[in-house]
Amino acid sequence: MRMIARVIAGAMAVAVLALAVPQATVAKDFYEGKSLTLFAGYPPGGGVDNEMRLIAQFFGKFIPGKPNIVAKNMPGAGGMLLGNYMFSKAAPDGLTLGMPGRSGFLLANSIGHKGAQYDLRKFTYVGSAVSTNSILWLRKSTNIRTLDELKKAKKEIVLGGLNSRSQNVVVPRVLNKYEGFPFRTVYGYPGFHAVLIALERGEVDGLFSHEGSIQGTRPDMIASGIVVPIFQTFPIEPNLPVMSSFVTDPRERDLLRLLNAPSRIGLPTLGPPGMNAEATKILRAAFQKMAADKTFRETADKRGMHVADPATGEELQAFIAENLVSVPEDVVKEYLSYTERKKSKKKKKKKQE
């Protein structure tokens, strides 16, 4: 009996070792010699594209097997076009990932946008490395340098935005109603790069956008003083007022909580629903290693992006299910009222331009 026990024990040990070796090489074998495509839901030159290319530059170095990362753009409908593609057309083999966008993409399900043919809860989230802090930037020519000066302003301030349902358009409209800021939004620009060109030309007076839109793509506009920051969403930049310090109305707070939820998420990197389990495990682990890497963080900081508190894929999945799926009907109703307001006038304005 003891002899049989020794034989069985020895066989089990050999089996364990035999299993251990392949498991250690599975991750490398999965991606070695392959290419992984990473899409941005916005055109080249803006903050989403800038962050996607930062991820594409570093991510492959931390994935076992070091696959080639191919950076591509699939712009349209505030990131929803890419969201629809990732949800229903992209193969769930772990070789196609997307970074559709922030507010337009993430809020579409919450407000029942018919163009969003996806369910946020079903994507396979890999991670989010860069925290997003939105800032109001105004041209120096507006002669507004501080929040107090903005509160006293009477002359109309034209802000450029992307689409009617995005944070960069709706937040200024909310602040116009509740705080009396003289904002008028002009939207329809394909990306923030186009907004910055309009800003340089004096076609718009400013923009409300995540920090990477300017710091990461046109830091010269800040250094030269063409634009100045007035306030921010979260307490990240020193000596710059935070939105919560002057927002007091309960309904306004509820609206801004919904609108700022995408900023707390950042720009998620995701895969199709039901993505290969082994690929998901490999990619999530690699993403966290990349986010903790010193060189990655230093490069992100130089491009105007803050890697403060990276979110794991599991954390993103939980946060989205809790905060962006079930939103009070009255909050959604008021949100939608801002997305359609003055739309006909916008069309006339765009024709004039």
Q: Print the domain residue range for 163.
A: 134-261+331-352
Same domain, 227 and 348: yes
Is 80 exceeded by the pLDDT of residue 121?
Answer: yes
Length, in residues, of the chain: 353
Does 215 reside within a domain? Answer: yes
Question: Has residue 2 been placed in a domain?
Answer: no
Cα torsion 9, 14, 15, 17: sign: positive
| Residue 3 pLDDT grade (very low, low, confident, very high; cuts 50, 70, 90) | very low
Rounded to an integer, what distance in angstroms lies between the CA atom of residue 338 and that of residue 316? 27
Supply the CATH number for residue 167's domain: 3.40.190.10
Cα–Cα distance measured from residue 94 to residue 274, given in angstroms and rounded to the nearest whole number: 10
The neighbouring-strand residues paired with 184 are 158
- Counted domains in the chain: 2
Higher local confidence (pLDDT), 205 or 7: 205
- Asked whether residue 16 is assigned to any structural domain, the reply reads no
Q: What is the DSSP string of 173-231?
A: HHHHHHH---EEEE---SSHHHHHHHHHHTSSSEEEEETHHHHTT-HHHHHTTSEEEEE
Instruction: Return the minimum-mean-pLDDT range out of 25-29, 204-208, 323-327.
Output: 25-29
Which has the higher per-residue pLDDT, 12 or 4?
Answer: 12
Comparing 130 with 339, the larger pLDDT belongs to: 339
pLDDT tens, residue by residue, 61-75: 999 999 999 999 999
Residue 24 zone, left/alpha/beta (φ > 0; ψ -120 to 50; rest): alpha
71 and 117 in a single domain? The answer is yes
The answer on 286 and 254 residing in a single domain is no
Closest CA to 101 of 185, 170, 166, 196: 166
* Same-domain check for residues 43 and 103: yes
Is 71 part of a structural domain of the chain? Answer: yes
Please report whether residue 18 resides in a domain.
no
Q: What secondary structure letter does DSSP report for 34?
A: -
- Identify whether residues 64 and 157 lie together within a single domain: no
Q: Is the per-residue pLDDT at 222 higher than 60?
A: yes
Residue 201 lies in a domain: yes
Q: Same domain for 166 and 189?
A: yes
pLDDT tier for residue 349 given thresholds of 50, 70 and 90: very low
Residue 111 belongs to some domain of the structure: yes
Q: Are residues 152 and 227 in the same domain?
A: yes
Examine the domain organization and report whether 77 and 222 are in the same domain: no
Per-residue pLDDT band for 348 (boundaries 50, 70, 90) equals very low
Task: Express as a percent the part of the chain with pLDDT over 70.
Answer: 88
Q: Are residues 150 and 186 in the same domain?
A: yes
Q: Is residue 110 included in any domain, yes or no?
A: yes
DSSP 3-state of 284: helix
B/e letters for 12-33, b = 16+ CB within 10 Å, e = fewer, are eeeeeeeeeeeeeeebeebbee
Share of the chain above pLDDT 90, in %: 67
pTM value is 0.75
Residue 47 pLDDT class (50, 70, 90 cuts) = confident
Residues 229 and 295 in one domain: no
pLDDT tens digits along 173-214: 999 999 999 999 999 998 888 999 999 999 999 999 987 678
Instruction: Give the confidence band of 345 by pLDDT, cuts at 50, 70, 90.
Output: very low
One domain for residues 318 and 288:
yes
**Amino acid 17: pLDDT:** 46
Mean pLDDT of the chain: 88
The CATH number assigned to the domain holding 84 equals 3.40.190.150
Torsion of the alpha carbons at 218, 308, 243 and 158, rounded to the nearest 10: 20
Mean pLDDT of 254-272: 91
Q: Does 111 share its domain with 156?
A: no
- Tokens standing for residue 176: 């116009």
